[in-house]
């Protein structure tokens, strides 16, 4: 009997040891899985992509492009920008920094600088030089105006600069800002040479792989034949008639219709027309794939980042508007480009070693002229006439037309020096001018710098304007236009920049080894992207990040 009791105790003891060992192995395995980072993060930003394009063109997408990301990845259906103005520069900065212009300082694509009395472009840097082209100004660029770190910067710091970060785009600002301060190379398209170039901020000369890529003269190849529709034009039932009054013209064309004669629109001294065609996206895809091999991305001991921004969608959208056959064809062709990119990525790395996200830097409004023709509230706000009018008002009220320095980004900059010289009260001027501006057609509200710098504003649009306000660079008055009112003169094509959902609601798709298929309709803000990536990589979020990890993905 005693022997049986001893044997039973022995078995129980062995069982506890085995259970403990099993738990320990499971814990270690869990920790190992949790700490296993992907080899490569690929960020895809589509310039001026409305969320509803995913459903609008879905039936015509291929199986391996947008559909793959939507059906085999995770779809955040209710992703919005949480600030305005919704422009390219602020959009790319916010995606990769996880914060708004109030913190990263990129308040527009251009803004007025009080200290110099001149405009500045978002990535202008006179201390740098062009690398890869004889066009002097095309490469005088850097990310120095960006005040916050990016996800790429944090990757580099985490790995003691051993991770690689590379960014490519047609637009300089769409590669410079995503690349961040520590980018190993940010490259953008130079219209004058047809080459992808960079600046001395990054390198003194182009890497061999970029030179070899430029030597292929792909811009010439893409522009050597007319742009016709990918599918028979009769199948573009999601779009308006090809010939309609709301679309702009290419080159010397008399009608905005297919085919577009691209060979007649470029020369060996100006390849700029490629930006306004889907082939601008294709050449961006080409250099992105070249960068994978050229930089040996995803092959080292630390996670690397490739940031890709497809900008042609923005140029086509501005010219033709969201209801055009041109926009639809551009997205159908982009879908094929994305499918090719995903195929290359999975072949070379395996899905399990990838983390891919796709979003947009802003969306776009319908063409106001089309809306008004259909009896909807919409309109055009003439900024030039507006500026002249407020100068006249200030002259009448205070005896001086020079009290206004500049107007841009729906903001008015007052001349502080002149106001002090005349011993006037800034608060009184902004208050009275605010009341005057409210009288203009299309103006919904006006907010003063004092309100935007401190008050808790209850109105949603006011909150977005406040999130886009950085006192050192922003104006004294910010104007909110009514929905579907654009600060434009042309009645063709469209633009963006507002606080309204047609500008703020964008796609957000995730794909890769850590991502389970699914979707959420929960409210997501654009500033949540960077901290979500940080959580998946187990690194610190960018230093000014205000976003939250998306729990549907990271849990």
Q: Would you say 485 and 442 are in contact if contact means Cβ atoms under 8 Å apart?
A: yes
Q: What is residue 190's three-state secondary structure?
A: strand
Which residues, listed in sequence order, are joined to residue 411 by a DSSP beta bridge? Answer: 408, 478
Residue 487 φ/ψ region, left for φ over 0, alpha for ψ in the -120 to 50 degree band, beta for the rest: beta
The residue to which tokens 């016709």 are assigned: 228
- For strands 508-512 and 354-360, give the pairing: antiparallel
Burial class for 283, CB neighbours closer than 10 Å (0-12, 13-18, 19+): buried
Interacting residues of 139 by C-beta distance below 8 A, sequence separation 6+ = 128, 129, 130, 131, 132, 133, 190, 197, 198, 199, 200
Kindly state the tokens that stand for 418.
């002149």
The answer for residues whose C-beta is within 8 angstroms of residue 6's C-beta and 6 or more apart is none
DSSP assignment of 359-385: EES---PPPHHHHHHTT-S-EE--HHH
Among candidate residues 204, 240, 192, the one with its CA nearest the CA of residue 56:
240
Which of 86, 88, 198, 303 is the catalytic position? 88
What's the CA gap between 183 and 297, in Å, rounded? 13
Query: Is 88 marked active-site?
Result: yes
Tell me 540's DSSP state: P
Of 2, 47, 325, which is closest to residue 175 (Cα–Cα)? 47
Residues serving a catalytic function are: 88
């Amino acid at each position: 009997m005693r022997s049986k009791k001893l044997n039973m105790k022995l078995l129980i003891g062995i069982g506890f040891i085995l259970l403990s060992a099993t738990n320990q192995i499971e814990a270690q395995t869990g920790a190992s899985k949790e700490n296993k980072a992907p080899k490569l993060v690929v960020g895809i930003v589509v310039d001026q992509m409305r969320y509803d394009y995913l459903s609008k063109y879905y039936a015509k997408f291929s199986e391996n492009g947008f559909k793959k990301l939507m059906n085999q990845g995770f779809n955040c259906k209710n992703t919005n920008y949480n600030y305005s103005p919704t422009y390219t520069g602020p959009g790319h900065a916010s995606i990769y920094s996880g914060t708004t212009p109030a913190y990263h300082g990129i308040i527009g694509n251009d803004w007025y600088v009080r200290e110099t009395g001149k405009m500045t472009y978002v990535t202008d840097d006179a201390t740098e030089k062009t690398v890869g082209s004889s066009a002097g100004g095309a490469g005088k660029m850097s990310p120095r105006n960006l005040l916050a770190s990016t996800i790429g910067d944090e990757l580099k710091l985490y790995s003691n600069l051993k991770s690689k970060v590379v960014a490519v785009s047609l637009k300089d600002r769409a590669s410079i800002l995503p690349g961040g301060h520590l980018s190993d190379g940010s490259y953008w398209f130079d219209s004058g040479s047809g080459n992808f170039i960079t600046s001395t901020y990054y390198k003194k000369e182009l890497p061999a792989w970029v030179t070899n890529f430029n030597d292929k003269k792909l811009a010439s190849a893409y522009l050597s034949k007319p742009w016709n529709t990918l599918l028979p034009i009769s199948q573009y039932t999601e779009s308006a008639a090809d010939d309609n009054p709301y679309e702009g013209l290419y080159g010397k064309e008399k009608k905005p219709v297919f085919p577009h004669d691209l060979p007649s629109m470029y020369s060996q001294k100006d390849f700029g027309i490629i930006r306004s065609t889907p082939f601008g996206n294709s050449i961006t895809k080409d250099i992105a794939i070249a960068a994978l091999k050229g930089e040996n991305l995803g092959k080292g001991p630390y996670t690397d980042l490739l940031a890709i921004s497809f900008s042609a969608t923005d140029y086509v959208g501005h010219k033709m508007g969201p209801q055009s056959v041109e926009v639809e064809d551009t997205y159908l062709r982009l879908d094929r480009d994305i499918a090719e990119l995903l195929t290359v990525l999975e072949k070379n790395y395996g899905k399990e070693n990838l983390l891919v996200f796709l979003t947009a830097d802003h969306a776009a409004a319908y063409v106001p002229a089309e809306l008004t023709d259909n009896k909807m509230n919409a309109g055009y706000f003439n900024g030039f006439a507006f500026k002249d009018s407020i100068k006249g008002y200030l002259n009448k009220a205070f005896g001086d037309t020079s009290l206004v320095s500049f107007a841009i980004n729906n903001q008015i900059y007052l001349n502080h020096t002149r106001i002090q010289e005349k011993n006037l009260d800034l608060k009184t001027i902004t208050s009275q001018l605010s009341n005057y501006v409210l009288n203009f057609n299309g103006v919904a509200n006006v907010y003063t710098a004092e309100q935007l710098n401190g008050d808790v504003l209850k109105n949603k649009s006011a909150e977005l304007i406040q999130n886009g306000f950085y006192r050192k660079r922003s104006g004294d008055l910010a104007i909110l236009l009514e929905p579907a009112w654009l600060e434009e003169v042309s009645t063709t094509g469209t633009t963006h920049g507002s606080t309204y959902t047609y500008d703020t609601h964008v796609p957000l798709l995730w794909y890769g080894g850590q991502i389970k298929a699914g979707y959420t309709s929960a409210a997501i803000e654009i500033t949540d992207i960077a901290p979500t990536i940080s959580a998946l990589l187990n690194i610190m979020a960018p230093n000014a990040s205000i976003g939250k990890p998306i729990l549907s993905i990271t849990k």
